[in-house]
Chain A
Amino acid sequence: MASAVAERTTVRTYRDYSRPWWRRALLTREIAIVAAVIGVYVVAAVAVPNFSSPITLTYLMLDIAAILLIALPMTMIIVTGEIDLSVASVVGLSSVTFGTLYQAGLPIPLAMLAALAVGAIAGFINGFLVTVVGLPSLAVTIGTLALFRGLAVGILGTTAVTGFPDAWTDLATSKIPGTPIPSVMIVFVILAIGFGLLLHATPFGRGVFAIGQSSEAARFSGVRVERTKLLLFVASGTIAALAGIYYTLRYGSARGDNATGLELSVIAAVLLGGVSIFGGRGALHGVIAGVFLIGILASALRLANVTSDVINIITGTLLVVSVVSPSLLAWARSSWARHRGNREAAGGTTPAPAVGHANPDAQPSQHKEKEAQ
């Protein structure tokens, strides 16, 4: 039906992209984080004794595996402009469910399934309160952070369930034969590919970005905003429960207070990885690099006998810088452009080319259409 619209005299041609592929691929925030990871790793390997040994790498990955897993759905939730602060409490709740049911005599695989189901239900509760009741996710998940943790500690008290079969605990800490890489990373890589494709190469992922950029325009384009968010919260709860199972087996101990405070590490890594806290922007490879950056820094500094307070100060500073830097860059770019305008008007010299993706098309537009009412 549409062919008749094309009866126009002029034919316009369009370039797909305004910049060459290498600039699009390399001059991004995500690549900057990846470069930082490599840089920090190299410096640490040279400067910190024992850092380059395979065992360090193994422990590093075992330490960050839970964060990596939870960061996958968290990235998507933050891209939609929401947040899930209850993930670490779901880790605890899942750990307790898993441990209690194992203690009650349930076979390990069934106890795992039950723990995953509990995580999914916890995520559904978050999603229901956010999408159906319409409460802000920040408030909802602060509430369920306390609620789920309370349930977890309430069930098991201060005791711990231990004595999991060696076969299972060994599996959690085992390595891929011939490498220093823990087996749990296989699970992570499979999930990361799944989530990466989902976010960046499916209609669902396009909807996720659209919601974060303008949920109203997304709704007017037929994107099922509520359903999408609900699914993401359920995914977040389920993956957090999976991390809870891993956490339990890795330390051989199911406790209500497992992984307390882990949500902050996850969110820090996601933001450090270039995801905008306001939603609508980010990429999964940046987030993964962000988790590694925090993990490598902490591991290297610990090996160099830096105290944990100082490590917290460093990672905290890094996070603040990463959250502030986009605004600072935009400010610098616009004031630089103003400055250049003034100088060119005065017949001055041409300044050096802009660093980063100073693409004229991508300049934040501040048009205000004044409409005659």
Chain B
Amino acid sequence: MSTPVPRVEQRPALLLDRVSKSFGSVMALKSGSLRMESHSIHALIGENGAGKSTLVKIIAGVHQRDAGTVELAGESVNFSNTAQSKDAGIAVIYQEPTLFPDLSVTENIFMGRQPVRGLRGVDRRSMRTQVTALFDQLGVSLDPDRPTRGLSIADQQIVEIAKAISLDARVLIMDEPTAALSGVEVERLFKVARALRDEGRALLFISHRFDEVFDLCDTVTIMRDGEYVATTAIEDTSVDELVRQMVGRDVTTLYPKEPASIGEDVLVVEGLSQRGLFHDVSFSVKSGEIVALAGLVGAGRSEIARAIFGVDDYSSGTVSVNGKAIRKHDPANAMGAGIALVPEDRRNQGVILDSTVARNTTLAIRRSLTKYGLLWPSAENDAARRWASRLEVKTSALDAQAGTLSGGNQQKVVLAKWLATNPTVLIVDEPTRGIDIGTKSEVHRDLSTLAGMGLAIVMISSELPEVLGMADRVLVVHEGRITAELDRDEATPESVMFAATHSKESAA
């Protein structure tokens, strides 16, 4: 696999020891540790929410740690902003680079530190010579004079890397750089990464793809629930071992879904495709059944849900409820057929923060509350009161603004809005994200009860315990395709995680 690299035994290039960070009451990082060596590519892996990104942001100076130590080449450092970490020789390349689209590749690389020549301003010739040399060094061919607008994500990352090298960064961090890259582009990126390693730099590579981790990296650090789990040399571990370390917790007893009598197919999705988002998605959900769409963030699960509900368009495929085809790209039509969607982004798509609890709750059923075509507040208040009390929304009055409610109560308002429509298919997208534990279990209880009443439920969740506890069936989505269908007893943290990180061919 990777060639043995001559390792100079010395101080680590970057050392983090028991670093923690919390936002309000949420502990995003409990105890993060990391030891990066020069001449080495280090992988950082973990589930969504394991604290990887928080750790990276602390290294980059975006966030400031609450406790713990960070040492760069043996010196304790404390960055209060990104400029300081950059000056110290740390570069972070994000999944989606942020370049100035109208400036040229060269101008982007030298942004903010253009070489000047006497009084005549920016020394373009020197800039261009340096960039050409950089690209030669990296072994890539990119036109230094073209604007960055229209460059592929892969090329934009190369520009960011070139920028980092021109700053002589000793530590390079790549946060899921391959997520949007094609096979050839990944190969080129890896070539560049290996060249940088051999120059003696330390690289950190965050990825959900195990094949890449094994292909590229020398050592791997596993994180789970905001905590450091282990660091091992890549040749001493295996995919199974890594998955076990990433998941490693008891998840069987958390959210037991009550058994419900499962009936006929209600929602049938066939061959749903939309270029670049999801491809040939087919599944069905029976009444009384909870089907979970599991997978990594960005796998295309929310996009599939939005297409089914009609908020977004799709290029081919069909959606039907109880045998009746749903017109595409028309939420009102989908609602008429009995589909309800509790969206992922509660504050922008779920509730209207400036509107009242009553009006939020009755927005989707407002047409059925009219009398002679007119809608009076008393009708809205009556309906809202009924649903608010069923879901135990905690609010002082029905005319309180939704924005004044807590996140969990806002989510209850959204649920109330959709239950009021008397749906036959309920799609919930990350129903408990950002919600406190108590409200979370109430939401789970509600979903279980609703399934018991014969609703067909599609639950999108990035939390494995939730998926395993609630779902009758788990569909795993990987890069826009369903790569595995697991029954309740087949679904284990390992099997779901394995399917979520592998394309179908290798998973089979």
Contacts and interface: CB of A to CB of B under 8 A. Distances in A.
Interface string A3-47: 011111011111111100000000000000000000000000000
Given A202-B370, A206-B366, A372-B27, A17 B422 contact: no
Contacts of A370: 23-24, 26
Contacts of A10: 392
Contact of A373 (B53, B369, B389, B396): B53
B24 to A, nearest CB: 5
Contact of A1 (B363, B375, B401, B422): B422
Contacts of A8: 390, 392
Grouping DSSP codes into helix (H, G, I), strand (E, B) and loop, the B interface class, with mixed when no group exceeds half, is: mixed
Grouping DSSP codes into helix (H, G, I), strand (E, B) and loop, the A interface class, with mixed when no group exceeds half, is: loop
A217 B351 contact: yes
B397 A203 contact: no
Nearest to A220: B349
A346 interface: no
A237 to B, nearest CB: 24
A172 to B, nearest CB: 32
Nearest to A13: B389
A15 B396 contact: yes
A179 interface: no
A223 interface: yes
A209 interface: yes
Contacts of B388: 12, 14
Contacts of B226: 372
A372 B26 contact: yes
A224 B352 contact: no
Interface string B438-461: 000000001001101111000000
Interface stretch (B164-172, B320-328, B353-361): B353-361
Given A201-B375, A372-B49, A206 B363 contact: yes
A62 interface: no
A280 B24 CA distance: 31
B374 A201 contact: yes
Contacts of B51: 372
Given A213-B352, A213-B355, A1 B453 contact: yes
Contact of B375 (A203, A220, A364): A203
B188 interface: no
B209 interface: no
A222 interface: yes
Contact of B376 (A201, A361, A364): A201
A224 B395 CA distance: 29
A312 interface: no
A5 B450 contact: yes
Nearest to B347: A369
A218 interface: yes
Nearest to B402: A365
B256 interface: no
Contact of A218 (B352, B381, B389, B453): B352
B178 interface: no
Name the residue among A8, A14, A222, A281 with the largest chain B CB count within 10 angstroms: A222
Interface of B: 23-24, 26-28, 48-49, 51, 53-54, 226, 309, 311, 331-332, 334-335, 341, 343, 347-355, 358-359, 362-364, 366-367, 369-370, 373-377, 381, 384-385, 388-401, 403-404, 407, 417, 419, 422, 433-434, 446, 449-450, 452-455
Interface of A: 1-2, 4-8, 10-18, 197, 201-203, 205-207, 209-210, 213-214, 216-224, 280-281, 361-365, 367, 369-373
Given A15-B396, A16-B377, A221-B417, 16 more contacts: A2-B390, A4-B453, A5-B390, A5-B449, A8-B390, A14-B384, A14-B389, A17-B397, A18-B396, A18-B399, A201-B375, A218-B352, A221-B364, A281-B354, A371-B433, A372-B49
18 contacts: A4-B449, A4-B452, A6-B389, A8-B392, A17-B398, A18-B396, A209-B355, A213-B355, A217-B350, A217-B351, A218-B363, A219-B311, A221-B331, A221-B363, A222-B332, A222-B335, A365-B353, A373-B54
